[in-house]
Amino acid sequence: VQLQASGGGLVQTGGSLRLSCAVSAQSVSIYSMSMSWFRQAPGKEREFVAAIRSTSSSTYHADSVKGRFTISRDNAKNTVYLQMNNLNPDDTAVYYCAHRWYWTVAYYSSSQWNTWGQGTLVTVSS
């Protein structure tokens, strides 16, 4: 499995961005995969943002982004998205998408995810 994240950039406070994570997997749909987004700000640890469960429509979001960010997937395009609205400077970070085959109750822990994309930088100016 290979992941390619894109869509980051510079945006003003209150603005929106949509991140994409293109998934390459031989003859396997992302519907059968659990996918997530994490972020890492300068000098801070990587933190959970959102996840979507394999073979389910269940999604999970960190409290800090709930109501502003939404994770989704397009099975036909093998792509996972993170729609980010009402951004603020605290959202500035490198955003990473990640994959694992089976769901885990510890989805919020970065150590539980097996494959990572290269990251895309989101900068929110005040």
Q: pLDDT tens across 16-40, in order? A: 999 999 999 888 888 889 999 999 9
Q: Which of 106, 101, 67 has its CA nearest to residue 84?
A: 67
Mean pLDDT over each residue of the chain, to the nearest integer: 95
User: Distances in Å between the alpha carbon of 37 and those of 27, 108, 119, 126?
Assistant: 23, 10, 10, 24
Amino acid, res. 92: T
- What confidence tens digit (pLDDT) does each residue in 65-86 have? 999 999 999 999 999 999 999 9
Classified as helix, coil or strand, 70 is strand
Segments in 18-126 forming alpha helices (H): none
- Measured over the CA atoms of residue 65, residue 112, residue 93 and residue 43, the dihedral's sign is positive
